[in-house]
Amino acid sequence: MKILVATEKPFAAAAVNGIKEIAQAGGHEVVLLEKYTSPVQLLKAVADADALVVRSDKVTREVVDAAKNLKIVVRAGAGYDNICLDACTERGIVVMNTPGQNSNAVAELAIAMMIFMSRNCFTPGTGSEVKGKKVGIQAFGNVGRLVAAKARALGMEVMAFDPFVEGSVMEDEGVTPAASLEEMYSSCDFISLHIPATPQTKESIGYDLLTRMPAGGCLVNTARKEVINEAELEKALTDRPDLKYVTDIAAVHQAELDEKFGKRVFATPKKMGAETAEANINAGLAAARQIVEYFATGCTRFQVNAK
Ligand code: 3PG
């Protein structure tokens, strides 16, 4: 079978080598499409692919239609909002992610962002320490739990809100469960977002929640830009000159935010949460193994679309 690895943001070389080894050992061929600059290149490359590995690359209905032989798509990472699940399901194409494989890298970045914002974006002037501060984790999944553990190790107090996780699970990890988002935002110096972008979460973080934060509150977004209501974020930052926003996914109007709010906002130039060799290797190799196993045994563990 032909496995296309299409990564606009390429994997580390060690990950690519590992993917090739796993695929070849299973009797498959790997074709690479890296750093492509136009969706047309993906449409062309996918035409004869049996399997597709992507990162945040957009697998639109058009891509699925162009991929006449496609049987499986694996998103080497957690969020699969970049894939048209309906188009895949209609064709009987299996879609999987590789949950947990790049979580540590993202969690480390979230912690780094808290420290960066506490230290004036590494510019001169008196900053503050994260020790003794309180962080609220919005969604206690793979990344959220790691952020909680690292924050506790730094001497931070940790609260979490997740309607899908029992409070006792949080308490077992030294984390205080919040009864509501409102309660969590009202009492935390930092809020770290770890929710996926879904119809339910899109634009769900806005003025009401943000302005509940205590003086100097900072929102840390290593999740998705779509979960933020940008107009309301701007209004909150305007009305509350003490609030801060740091993100790994630049806002649509990031340049305006930068201009208006200076060091109170910061966005990485390109999403870098999962940009570590370790995360690339973990997620890339997991994707390759899942594809080889699917072709060998039909195993659909980690399938995320309807069967
Ligand atoms: C994910 O959902 O796994 C992260 O957002 C990482 O995305 P990336 O592979 O595009 O860096």
Q: CB-based contacts of 16: which residues, under 8 Å, 6+ apart?
A: 5, 10, 32, 284
Distance of CA 283 from the midpoint of ligand 1 (Å)? 10
For residue 165, name the pLDDT band (cuts at 50, 70, 90).
very high
Distance of CA 168 from the midpoint of ligand 1 (Å)? 29
Ligand 1 environment, Cβ below 6 A:
9, 55-56, 77-79, 102, 271, 273-274
Handedness of CA 232, 235, 241, 246 (dihedral sign): positive
DSSP code, position 307? -
Q: What is the pLDDT of residue 90?
A: 98
Would you give the end-to-end CA distance of the chain in angstroms? 22
Q: What is the rounded CA–CA span in Å between residue 201 and residue 221?
A: 13
Q: What is the pLDDT of residue 94?
A: 98
The percentage of the chain sitting over the pLDDT mark of 90, rounded to a whole number, equals: 100
Q: What is the rounded CA–CA span in Å between residue 15 and residue 34?
A: 13
- Contact 102/79 with Cβ under 8 angstroms? no
Q: What is the pLDDT of residue 67?
A: 98
Select from 268, 270, 271, 276 the residue to mutate for testing ligand 1; criterion: most ligand atoms less than 8 Å from CB.
271
Q: What is the pLDDT of residue 53?
A: 99
Mean pLDDT value across residues 14-25: 98
Write out pLDDT tens, residues 255-300. Answer: 999 999 999 999 999 999 999 999 999 999 999 999 999 999 999 9
Write out pLDDT tens, residues 170-191. Answer: 999 999 999 999 999 999 999 9
For residue 115, name the pLDDT band (cuts at 50, 70, 90).
very high
Write out pLDDT tens, residues 120-155. Answer: 999 999 999 999 999 999 999 999 999 999 999 999
Q: What is the pLDDT of residue 179?
A: 98
Q: What is the pLDDT of residue 51?
A: 99
Q: What is the pLDDT of residue 136?
A: 99
Residue nearest to ligand 1 atom 10, measured at CA: 56
Q: CB-based contacts of 192: which residues, under 8 Å, 6+ apart?
A: 110, 114, 135, 136, 137, 138, 144, 147, 220, 222
Write out pLDDT tens, residues 217-229. Answer: 999 999 999 999 9
For residue 212 the two structure tokens come to 């509940």
- Quick one: which atom of ligand 1 is closest to the CA of 224? 5
Residue nearest to ligand 1 atom 6, measured at CA: 274
Q: How far is CA 92 from the centre of its chain?
A: 26
For residue 41, name the pLDDT band (cuts at 50, 70, 90).
very high
Q: What is the pLDDT of residue 186?
A: 98
- Quick one: which atom of ligand 1 is closest to the CA of 76? 9
Distance of CA 102 from the midpoint of ligand 1 (Å)? 8
Q: What is the pLDDT of residue 184?
A: 98
Q: How far is CA 223 from the centre of its chain?
A: 4
Q: How many CB atoms lie within 10 A of CB 65?
A: 14
Q: What is the pLDDT of residue 79?
A: 97
Runs of H (alpha helix) within the chain: 13-25, 39-45, 61-66, 85-91, 103-118, 142-153, 167-172, 181-187, 207-210, 230-239, 254-261, 277-297
Task: Name which of 233, 275, 268 is nearest 121 in CA terms.
Answer: 268
Residue nearest to ligand 1 atom 9, measured at CA: 55
- CA atoms lying within 13 Å on the CB side of residue 43: 9
Q: How far is CA 305 from the centre of its chain?
A: 18
Q: What is the pLDDT of residue 26?
A: 98
What is the pLDDT of the chain when averaged over all its residues? 98
Distance of CA 305 from the midpoint of ligand 1 (Å)? 18
Select from 56, 96, 302 the residue to mutate for testing ligand 1; criterion: most ligand atoms less than 8 Å from CB.
56
